[in-house]
Chain A
Amino acid sequence: MKAAAFDYLRPASLGEALALLATHKDDCKILAGGQSLVPAMNFRLARPAILIDINDLDELDHLRADAGQLKIGALTRHAAFHRPVVEGPLGTLLAKVVRHIAHYPIRQRGTFAGSLSHADPASEWCLVATTLRAEMVAKSARGERVIAASDFFHGTFTTALEPDEILAEIRLPIMTPDWRVGFYEFSRRAGDFALGMAVAAAKVEDGTIREARLGVGGVGDRAIRLGALEDQLVGTPASSDVIDSIDRIAREARGMIEPSGDIHASPEYRRDLIAASVKRALTEALA
């Protein structure tokens, strides 16, 4: 239960860090919060030859609203979201979601960007990024590129990031006050990985849903955006009969996923959980 030997590098600037990544590529791992990487190293599931500790890089330590987007720097810890970081529905949603991420001390160290780079299928932030159509800013010594969330996640623990790239910033669209949001997660124990979860958001104007976001996580190899169901929600009146629409959409969500079974839950159970999660997240947002 002790990590294997590695060489420890602590660059003082982002430029220096990117040069180190360009040199060492697959031989190195980036150390930010370390709340997933270090357990994997202690178990010897991960044995990077080199760790590049980015914790001194002030360029990556920011969290600000700018031009309609919430810009989350790579060193933003989960705990930063305990209180709403931006006025309106987005800040409320993030503050609700963060309570489900591991435990208090883990949230003091672990980072938003680290969760996305790690790409655990049960990660709450991966679900939020996918559902709310985040943009990922990847930097390397070669330059910078912006990756859409839909192109970023390739599967369990796999992303579009190249070995010489760092996820420097995540951009989430800030929702106007006419958006309504909901989140529901089921796990066996407080702070444990989600067996099923759903995030829902809807923009309501004149009593009608004009735009919708709906995604589920904890099933499959990555978070899933339910685009077909989002389309069904658009145009629906957000009145008392919305309950009927929610019931129908929850039933349809059940058939749109193909979860695998394991020691924690059967595929059938997971489908039920997703239906219940979708229903509860949508109900919180709309009913």
Chain B
Amino acid sequence: MPDKRDVTLAVNGKTYAVSIEPRRSLADVLRDDCGLTGTHLGCEHGVCGACTVLVNDKPVRSCLMFGVQAEGKVVRTVEGLADGDTLHPLQQAFWENHGLQCGFCTPGFLMLAAGALQENPDMSDDDIKDVLSSNLCRCTGYQNIVKAVRLAAREMRARTRA
């Protein structure tokens, strides 16, 4: 069996020194080695999007990256969204608009939307739906997810202008 590698990861502004096999997905490394279980794993082959995290500000499937590949990159997970006890505008909007039922897909949707809004804060409704089509919600609560992202985007734009 190939040896474990000593890898240093930067996640949510903290440094994690881990010893991992190269075959270990970034999702498993985050959950099992860093103890950040907010990132969920659904399909493990890039279809459902539950494991979406930001790597260098881009939303990516953490089941399709190996943990060793994240060395030298900046990783952000759902645990890094809130500012202390203050929810991120996306989290607040999901809460207020019933954007989640069982909550399993929520971390993936939040990170997907956070990354997409960072690239384009002025997404049209069509753009929002196109981006959100990347992830699956098995409770099928899509309308409220779209609504929450739309309202969060508005709130985030207002704060930027303020």
A38 neighbours in B (Cβ, 8 Å): 46, 63-66
| CA distance in complex: A108, B46 (Å) | 13
- Which residues 1-50 of B have a CB within 8 angstroms of A? 1-2, 5, 21-25, 28, 43-46, 49
Confirm or deny: B143 has a beta carbon within 8 angstroms of a beta carbon on chain A. no
B130 neighbours in A (Cβ, 8 Å): 99, 104, 190
- Segment at the interface with A among B52-60, B85-93, B94-102, B149-157: B52-60
Confirm or deny: A263 has a beta carbon within 8 angstroms of a beta carbon on chain B. no
Confirm or deny: B144 has a beta carbon within 8 angstroms of a beta carbon on chain A. no
Partner of A2, one of B23, B46, B59, B61: B23
Q: From residue B133, how far is it (CB to closest CB) to chain A in Å?
A: 4
B1 neighbours in A (Cβ, 8 Å): 5
Q: From residue B100, how far is it (CB to closest CB) to chain A in Å?
A: 19
| CA distance in complex: A6, B69 (Å) | 14
Query: Of all chain A residues, which has the CB nearest B52?
Result: A105
Partner of A6, one of B22, B59, B65, B134: B22
Number of interface residues of A (CB under 8 A): 29
Confirm or deny: A146 has a beta carbon within 8 angstroms of a beta carbon on chain B. no
**Are B44 and A42 within 8 A (Cβ)?**
yes
A105 neighbours in B (Cβ, 8 Å): 49, 52, 58-61, 112, 115, 134
The answer to whether A6 and B60 touch (CB under 8 A), given A42-B44, A42-B45, A104-B134, is no
| CA distance in complex: A54, B133 (Å) | 30
**Are B22 and A7 within 8 A (Cβ)?**
yes
Q: From residue B130, how far is it (CB to closest CB) to chain A in Å?
A: 7
Query: Of all chain A residues, which has the CB nearest B24?
Result: A2
Confirm or deny: A269 has a beta carbon within 8 angstroms of a beta carbon on chain B. no
| CA distance in complex: A164, B47 (Å) | 31
Q: From residue A99, how far is it (CB to closest CB) to chain B in Å?
A: 7
Query: Of all chain B residues, which has the CB nearest A9?
Result: B22
Query: Of all chain B residues, which has the CB nearest A53?
Result: B69
Confirm or deny: A4 has a beta carbon within 8 angstroms of a beta carbon on chain B. yes
| CA distance in complex: A104, B58 (Å) | 10
A42 neighbours in B (Cβ, 8 Å): 25, 44-45, 63
B131 neighbours in A (Cβ, 8 Å): 104
Partner of A5, one of B21, B44, B68, B112: B21
| CA distance in complex: A105, B60 (Å) | 5
Q: From residue A52, how far is it (CB to closest CB) to chain B in Å?
A: 12
| CA distance in complex: A105, B45 (Å) | 13
3 cross-chain pairs, A with B, having the tightest CB-CB distances, nearest first: A103-B134, A8-B22, A1-B44
Q: List 21 A-B contacts (CB under 8 A).
A: A1-B43, A1-B44, A1-B45, A2-B25, A3-B23, A5-B21, A6-B22, A8-B2, A31-B69, A34-B65, A38-B64, A39-B45, A42-B25, A103-B133, A104-B116, A105-B52, A105-B112, A106-B134, A109-B64, A190-B130, A190-B133
- 19 other contacts beyond A34-B66, A38-B66, with CB at 8 A cut-off? A1-B45, A2-B24, A2-B25, A3-B23, A5-B1, A5-B23, A6-B2, A6-B23, A7-B2, A8-B5, A35-B64, A42-B44, A42-B45, A43-B45, A51-B66, A99-B130, A103-B134, A105-B52, A105-B59
